[in-house]
Amino acid sequence: MTAFALSLAFWIFLWASSVALFPVALAVWALTAPFDRRKVILHRFTCFWASLYTWLNPAWRVTIEGRSKIDPRQPVVFVSNHLSSLDILVLFRLFTHFKWVSKIENFRPPFIGWNMSLNGYIPVVRGDKQSVVRMMGRCRQALAGGSSIMMFPEGTRSPTGRLRDFRSGAFAIAQDAGVPLQPLVITGSSDALPKSGLVISGKHRIHVRVLDVVPPEAFGDRSSEELAAWVRERIAAELPTETT
């Protein structure tokens, strides 16, 4: 199959499946709302929905390492490097419960964006201080209710593949809530989904490594900025030299 044909098939499948699966998500939400306050079942369905696109696309081979390091009983703040829009789909392959923190633009597309809202994922308007304050408040509420949080502390995907500086928000949330941090390392996704254009070319091996959890007692007396830099170093140590 040519790159153009594969890409066309992928995008048609993405939209057709979204049209078909959103009503299922809506039904799951309605049926489980009375007893599933954290929307665990809906999120698990969303993990399945998102994983379809990496399971069925022959251009993307995704592997997960260290899944056993995630304790589903303990809410954490997941922090990951960010190389591509594909990272969002890839991290659903963890099949663990969390609430995404994502720019508000991702909540607007029909079906996929609507499903994000159904799940109670947390939007943020970049550059809007009031929106950031609301986002941090919702993150603390989610953690207090037993849900983990998933964030990209770089703020946006790296345009060059090199690891950017980490913003302090995710780390301040973990400190305030007294919950662990769980660093994640993604490699191989940078060129797997085009930053511009729609043609998917080549085959890509995408790898997610779950690092050891960082418990609150390991935060020490670091400020949130210092903690961000420290965790960034841990992630950077797991990346190829040219990306750090």
| DSSP structural state of residue 195 | S
Residues 156-176 have pLDDT tens digits of 888 777 899 999 999 999 999
- What digits encode the pLDDT tens for the residues 105-155? 999 999 999 999 999 999 999 889 999 999 999 999 999 999 999 999 998
Identity of the amino acid at 210: V
Could you tell me where the DSSP H helices lie in 86-196? 86-92, 112-118, 129-144, 169-177
Q: How far is CA 135 from each of CA 124, 129, 192, 233, 241, rounded to the nearest angstrom?
A: 6, 10, 30, 26, 34
| Helix H or strand E segment including 126 | none
- Rg value, the chain, Cα: 18
**Which CATH number characterizes residue 225's domain?**
3.40.1130
CB 79 within 8 A of CB 181: yes
The domain total for the chain is 1
Q: Residue 220: name the closest of 164, 182, 171 by CA.
A: 171
Q: Return d(Cα 191, Cα 199) in angstroms, integer.
A: 11
Q: What is residue 214's DSSP assignment?
A: B
DSSP β-ladder status, 98-103 and 181-187: unpaired
Residue 70 lies in domain:
3-243
Give this prediction's pTM: 0.94
Q: 193 with 82: CB under 8 angstroms?
A: no
Q: Are strands 98-103 and 122-124 parallel, antiparallel or unpaired?
A: parallel
| Under 8 Å between Cβ of 83 and 63 | no
In this prediction, residue 197 carries a pLDDT of 67
pLDDT band of 13, cuts 50, 70, 90: very high
